[in-house]
Every structure is written in structure tokens, then in C-alpha cells.
């Protein structure tokens, strides 16, 4: 059963849409907003699909009109309107039934999950019901499977297991002509790889098959501090290039400011509940920006605690962090993966979850990360961004080259994520425009300095910018669009193609 919520004006202007509707004011709908809070686009209707067939019906209905577009909306955690459709149809993918299924095949055990499931739901279902878990995660798990597979899906596990787009074996996809397909690397591989990292342009993911393996029980979680970026980067790159049997399961890290600011400064470093940060241990020459490397080793019940301690110790003793500034804890696996929920709770409490989030995510090659650090992190952002500044490396060879994702050239590249939070006015200043301008200046600096970089969650308006972003993949991206969504109905909020009639 599909319910469409359509506003009166749009319903009157679209008599041929032919779908069941309930008239409400769509402007009040969450579909007109996203986590970024920077743009708003009023849909004509919000469709709550109960099946892939409902998704197909909505797309076919839009195709029969001269101008309706269709945007799948996962959990709306985009920051620049990517899941919106101005006077189009928004598919609320959270409405798909949350049925998850365990699938045992000759080559392993898999979870079949709906495109609208949150990764958090997948985690709890897989661990509590089956003692199993996917290998690759995002830091924050209240994101949908379809939403992250349309982008990449990265976290501290990506260096070892690949991003989420490398950890899926089969998809159910409804393409822009309203046809339902099952695709994988062996069946319709072109569609499969197009959709992965495809920014929603080629089809709507209604089901994904995710490989599972035995879930660990506990996690040895450690954070250490660096005053020198060169040491930080050298150690992080050493850790992500170790053979799998001698590596951590998770390597991340972030920049922080040398101050007692609870969000940007050293209070953000200690693992909650652990020892405090003793700033007197910082070397005399430490600058205004410092670095925290974060690593984790998983422990399964058959592994001995002493062996795990030894493995952690062997890797840590080689690192050049500031001795004494180390923070360690043993935590449950689910608690470790749910660690960002605490950030959400605090941000909801102080109001900064609901204010705009002018976030910037960039992938930047190891070749240019030191120059970027000097110019941007140490220069433009020396006072912090009122939120986490993630900086950690991953490996290009862990990404499927055939997907739509655009990556820098080099094998080792860093995610730099500037996750800005703004306190509600009047407690905090209304600086959003300045922050957006600073993001633009950072991208301009990357371009004018010739850095090898790509935006993660790109937001461009001009075709020339999209062509530059996709580079050698652009011609294929355009061809695939013509093949799978010839009227350019899907994901209009990405501003890549315009609807044709």
C-alpha cells in the first residue's frame, strides 16, 4: 500500500499523476529539510513506499508527467539538499518494511536488508540475533543503507575492509524508467557499480545484501596525542599499510586545538570515563593544532586477553606519540560502534543538532596532505571548527574502481571532515554564511594549489564542476545516466542533470 501526501496546489497541477493521495501541507514535511539546514525545497508529495513495486509505481507516475522528479530520502542526513525534490516526489525510504533476512550461501553468510534500514538497526539485528556483523561501518550509524551506499560509507575500518560500497554483493534497484532489477558483480554489473557511489542518479536501492562475519565481543580502544603532524601522518600511514594479521581493525584520528575548549580542545581527547588530559606533558614547541590518533583492536571470545594486549603493545611502542598522553579502554563492540550517539545526545541537549551544519568533507591525497595541513588546518582553521576535524588515511586499492565514486589519484588518501556545529542564536553568533564562505575558500585553495583531492558528498551546480569532479569517470557517468534514468527523474537535489520531458 502506498500513501502519497500531496499538497493541494501540486495535486491540482498534476491531474495525471494517478496515485492515491492524502492531502496535507507538504511544506511542513521533514522532506523539505535536511541535517545541513542550509537549503530547503518543498516537495509536491511525500510517498511512503511499502515495497519496491511502490517505488516503481511512483517513478512511473512521475515519468508520465512533463516535469516531476523523484528523490529517495534515507534519513535526510545530507547537508546540501541532496535528498530533496523541489515540487517533485520524495520517497520516504524509512517507510519500507524493516524486514531483515539471514542468507547462507556457499561463499558466506549475508544480511538482506531494506534500503531504508539504518545501519544501527542492521547492527543490533545482526549481533543480537545471529552473533554476526558487517565489516565496514560509518562513525555514526543513524544513516540508511541506501544513503551511504549512494555515497561511499567510510570510517576507521575502511583502510582494512574497504568502504561500505566495497562490502555489498547484491542490490535490488528500481531504475529511472520504473523497472525493478536485481544486480551484482555477475548479474547486470554495470548497473550494480553505477549505483554504488552513484549519488542516487541511476536507481533507488530497495534491498542490499551485506556480507557478515562473526562479531567480536570487545574492543581495545586507544587514543594517543601528537604535537607534530609529520609524525602523526607517518604513524597513521604505517598502521594502515600493515599486513592484515598485524594490523588494528580500526584506525582514525582528528585534529584538535591546544585549548581547554570542550568541543575543539584537549577535553575532546580522553575516552569517556578514562584518565584526564595532562597538558603539561605537551612538548615545549607544540603549536596551536594537535593531533589525536585513534585505533582499535577487536577481540573475539576465543582470543586471550594477554595476546591482545601484546599485539596492541607491539604496535603502539613503534609510534612517535607524546608519551603519557595515551588513553585506553576496553569496551563492548556494539558500544564502540555506537560511540557517536553520545555526541548526538549532547548536541540535541545544547540545541546544536537542530541548527545548520555547514560541513565539508574532502578526500585528499597523501602527496598533498602536509601542504593542506599547513595551509588549512594549521592556518585557516587554527581556532577549530566547533566540532570534530577528522583527518585519517585509507587505501584506494580497497575501493572497487568500477563504482561511481570519484577518488584522488594516489593510493593513500585522507578523509578530512570538518564537522561544524553552531550553537543556537543568541548563545552563538549567526556565522553560517561565513562558515560556508570558509568552506568555499578551502576548496578554492585545494584547486589553486593543484592538490590531488575530491569532495566527498560533493555539492556543485555547474556541469563543468561535475565534469571536473568525476574526471575520467565523467563520460561513463553521463552514459549511465542516459541508460538508467533517461528522463533524469532521480535525485534532482544533487543538481547534476535536469529533468527532460
Contact between 90 and ligand FAD per CB under 6 A = no
- Sheet with 89-92: strands ordered across: 21-23, 3-6, 45-48, 89-92, 70-73
* Of the candidates 408, 373, 353, 160, the residue with the CA atom closest to the CA atom of residue 254: 373
Cell triple for residue 486?
A: 533517461
Q: How far apart are CA 180 and CA 74, in angstroms?
A: 19
- What are the CA-CA distances from residue 343 to residues 117, 154, 339, 350, 352 (Å)? 21, 18, 8, 11, 10
- Which stretch, 124-132, 197-205, 224-232, 236-244, contacts ligand FAD (CB under 6 A)? 197-205
Q: What is the 3-state secondary structure (H, E, C) of 204-242?
A: EEEEEEEEEEECCCEEEEEEEEECCHHHHHHHHHHHHCC
Residue 82 near ligand FAD by CB under 6 A: yes
Binding residue for ligand FAD, selected from 43, 88, 147, 408, defined by CB under 6 A: 147
Q: Is 141 in the site for ligand FAD (CB under 6 A)?
A: no
d(CA 356, CA 80): 10
| Number of chain residues interacting with ligand FAD (CB under 6 A) | 36
The CA distance from 203 to 180, in Å, is: 9
Q: Which of 62, 308 has the CB closer to ligand FAD?
A: 62
Quick one: which of 483, 501, 481, 406 has its CA closest to 491? 481
Question: What's CA 194's distance to the chain center, in Å?
Answer: 18
Q: How far apart are the C-alpha atoms of 55 and 60, rounded to whole Å?
A: 9
Does 406 help bind ligand FAD (rule: CB under 6 A)? Answer: no
316 or 487, CB closer to ligand FAD? 487
Choose the binding region for ligand FAD from 180-188, 214-222, 308-316, 490-498 (rule: CB under 6 A). Answer: 490-498
Count of CB atoms situated within 10 Å of the CB of 99:
10
Q: Is residue 252 flagged as an active site residue?
A: yes
Cα 324 to Cα 253, 272, 281, distances in angstroms: 18, 17, 7
Between 74 and 384, CB nearer to ligand FAD: 74
- Of residues 65, 136, 144, 352, which one binds ligand FAD by CB under 6 A? 144
Residue 154 engages ligand FAD in binding (rule: CB under 6 A): yes
Nearer to ligand FAD, 41 or 443 (CB): 41
Mark whether 139 is an active-site residue.
yes
CA 208, 343, 350, 438 dihedral sign is: negative
Q: Convert residues 202-221 into a mask of x (bound to ligand FAD by CB under 6 A) and - (unbound).
A: --xx----------------
Q: 138 or 277, CB closer to ligand FAD?
A: 138
The yes or no reply on residue 150 touching ligand FAD (CB under 6 A) is: yes
43 binds ligand FAD per the rule CB under 6 A: no
List, in order, residues 6 or more apart from 486 with CB less than 8 Å away: 176, 177, 500
**Residue 46 near residue 29, CB atoms below 8 Å:** yes
Does 78 sit near ligand FAD (CB under 6 A)? yes
For helices 474-484 and 463-470, give the axis angle rounded to 10 degrees. Answer: 110
DSSP state of 47: E
Task: Identify the active-site residue in 112, 139, 177, 309.
Answer: 139
Q: Does position 360 bind ligand FAD by CB under 6 A?
A: no
Residue nearest to ligand FAD (CB): 146
Give the residue with the Cβ less far from ligand FAD, 71 or 224.
71
- Which is nearer to ligand FAD, 149 or 322 (by Cβ)? 149
One of 115, 134, 197, 253 touching ligand FAD (CB under 6 A): 115
Stretch in the footprint of ligand FAD (CB under 6 A) among 140-148, 185-193, 221-229, 392-400: 140-148
Q: Which of 172, 252, 373, 485 is catalytic?
A: 252
Task: For the chain, give the number of residues.
Answer: 501
Candidates 5, 43, 44, 76; binder of ligand FAD (CB under 6 A) is 76
Please identify, among the stretches 102-110, 150-158, 182-190, 303-311, the one whose residues bind ligand FAD according to the rule CB under 6 A. Answer: 150-158
Catalytic residues: 77, 139, 252
Q: Which residues bind ligand FAD (CB under 6 A)?
A: 34-35, 71-78, 82-83, 93, 115, 138-140, 143-144, 146-148, 150-155, 199-200, 204-205, 457, 491, 493-494
Amino acid at each position: 500500500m502506498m500513501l502519497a501526501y500531496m499538497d493541494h496546489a501540486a495535486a491540482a497541477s498534476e491531474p495525471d499523476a494517478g496515485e492515491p493521495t492524502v492531502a496535507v501541507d507538504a511544506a511542513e514535511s521533514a522532506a523539505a529539510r535536511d541535517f545541513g539546514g542550509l537549503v530547503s525545497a518543498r516537495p509536491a508529495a511525500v510517498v511512503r513506499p511499502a515495497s519496491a513495486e511502490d517505488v516503481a509505481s511512483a517513478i512511473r507516475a512521475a515519468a508520465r508527467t512533463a516535469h516531476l522528479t523523484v528523490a529517495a530520502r534515507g534519513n535526510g542526513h545530507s547537508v546540501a539538499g541532496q535528498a530533496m525534490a523541489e515540487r517533485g516526489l520524495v520517497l520516504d525510504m524509512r517507510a519500507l518494511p524493516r524486514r531483515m533476512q539471514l542468507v547462507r550461501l556457499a561463499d558466506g553468510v549475508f544480511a538482506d536488508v531494506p534500503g531504508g534500514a539504518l545501519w544501527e538497526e542492521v547492527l543490533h539485528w545482526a549481533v543480537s540475533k545471529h552473533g554476526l556483523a558487517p565489516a565496514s561501518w560509518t562513525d555514526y550509524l543513524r544513516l540508511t543503507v541506501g544513503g551511504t551506499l549512494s555515497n561511499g560509507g567510510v570510517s576507521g575500518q575502511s583502510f582494512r575492509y574497504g568502504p561500505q560500497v566495497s562490502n555489498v554483493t547484491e542490490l535490488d534497484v528500481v531504475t529511472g524508467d520504473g523497472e525493478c532489477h536485481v544486480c551484482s558483480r555477475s548479474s547486470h554489473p554495470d548497473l550494480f557499480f553505477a549505483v554504488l557511489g552513484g549519488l542516487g542518479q541511476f536507481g533507488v536501492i530497495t534491498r542490499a545484501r551485506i556480507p557478515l562475519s562473526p562479531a567480536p565481543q570487545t574492543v581495545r580502544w586507544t587514543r594517543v596525542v601528537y604535537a607534530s603532524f609529520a609524525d602523526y601522518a607517518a604513524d597513521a600511514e604505517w598502521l594502515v599499510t600493515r599486513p592484515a594479521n598485524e594490523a588494528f581493525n580500526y584506525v582514525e584520528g582528528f585534529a584538535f586545538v591546544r585549548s581547554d575548549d570542550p568541543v575543539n580542545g584537549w577535553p575532546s581527547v580522553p575516552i569517556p570515563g578514562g584518565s584526564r588530559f595532562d597538558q603539561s606533558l605537551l612538548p615545549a614547541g607544540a603549536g596551536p593544532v594537535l593531533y589525536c590518533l585513534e585505533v582499535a583492536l577487536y577481540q573475539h571470545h576465543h582470543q586471550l586477553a594477554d595476546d591482545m594486549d601484546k599485539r596492541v603493545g607491539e604496535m603502539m611502542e613503534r609510534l612517535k606519540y607524546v608519551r603519557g598522553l595515551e588513553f585506553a579502554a576496553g569496551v563492548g563492540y556494539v558500544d564502540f560502534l555506537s560511540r557517536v550517539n553520545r555526541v548526538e545526545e549532547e548536541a540535541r541537549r545544547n540545541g546544536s543538532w537542530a541548527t545548520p551544519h555547514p560541513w565539508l568533507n574532502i578526500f585528499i591525497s597523501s602527496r598533498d596532505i602536509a601542504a593542506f595541513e599547513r595551509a588549512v588546518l594549521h592556518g585557516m582553521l587554527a581556532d577549530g571548527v566547533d566540532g570534530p576535524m577528522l583527518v585519517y588515511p585509507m587505501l584506494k586499492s580497497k575501493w572497487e574502481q568500477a563504482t561511481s565514486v570519484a577518488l584522488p589519484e594516489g593510493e593513500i588518501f585522507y578523509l578530512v571532515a570538518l564537522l561544524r556545529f553552531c550553537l543556537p542564536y543568541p548563545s552563538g553568533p549567526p556565522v553560517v554564511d561565513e562558515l560556508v564562505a570558509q568552506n568555499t575558500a578551502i576548496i578554492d585553495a585545494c584547486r589553486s594549489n593543484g592538490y590531488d583531492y575530491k569532495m566527498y558528498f560533493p555539492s556543485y551546480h555547474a556541469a563543468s564542476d561535475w565534469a571536473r569532479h568525476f574526471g575520467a569517470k565523467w563520460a561513463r557517468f553521463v552514459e549511465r545516466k542516459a541508460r538508467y534514468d533517461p528522463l533524469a527523474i532521480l535525485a534532482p537535489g544533487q543538481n547534476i542533470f535536469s529533468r527532460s520531458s
